[in-house]
């Protein structure tokens, strides 16, 4: 029996583009579509306007950050070879 994997917002692609690419797209979209905390007023009202441009709907501040996230921490997975 084939196990179905939830791809979230990437379901719209149907059977095209492959499973792994759809999982990556779903993860990125989930990351930048959620409400994020404003670095100035600390409310969860920040939305993405364009790639790297973010706007707080409470204090109306616009600022630049990473394309998909406003956090400075980047998680890098490294494979360790033994």
Domains in the chain (CATH in brackets) are 1-33 (no CATH), 34-70 (2.20.25.30)
Compute CA distances 23 → 12, 26, 44, 49, 57, whole Å: 12, 5, 26, 23, 30
Averages of pLDDT over each 10 residues, the chain, 82 residues: 71 87 88 86 90 91 87 48 46
pLDDT tens for each residue of 49-71 = 998 899 999 999 999 988 888 87
Which is nearest to 77 in space by CA: 18, 6, 27?
Answer: 27
Q: Where are the alpha helices (DSSP H) in 1-82?
A: 19-33
pLDDT given at position 1: 63
Q: Rounded to whole angstroms, how far apart are CA atoms 53 and 47?
A: 9
């Amino acid at each position: 029996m084939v196990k179905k994997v939830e791809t979230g917002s990437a379901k719209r692609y149907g059977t095209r583009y492959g499973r792994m690419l759809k999982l990556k797209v779903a993860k990125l979209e989930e990351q930048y579509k959620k409400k994020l905390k404003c670095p100035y007023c600390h409310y969860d009202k920040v939305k993405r306007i364009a790639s790297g441009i973010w706007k707080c709907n409470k204090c109306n501040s616009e600022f630049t950050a990473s394309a998909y996230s406003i956090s400075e921490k980047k998680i890098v997975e490294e494979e360790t070879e033994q």
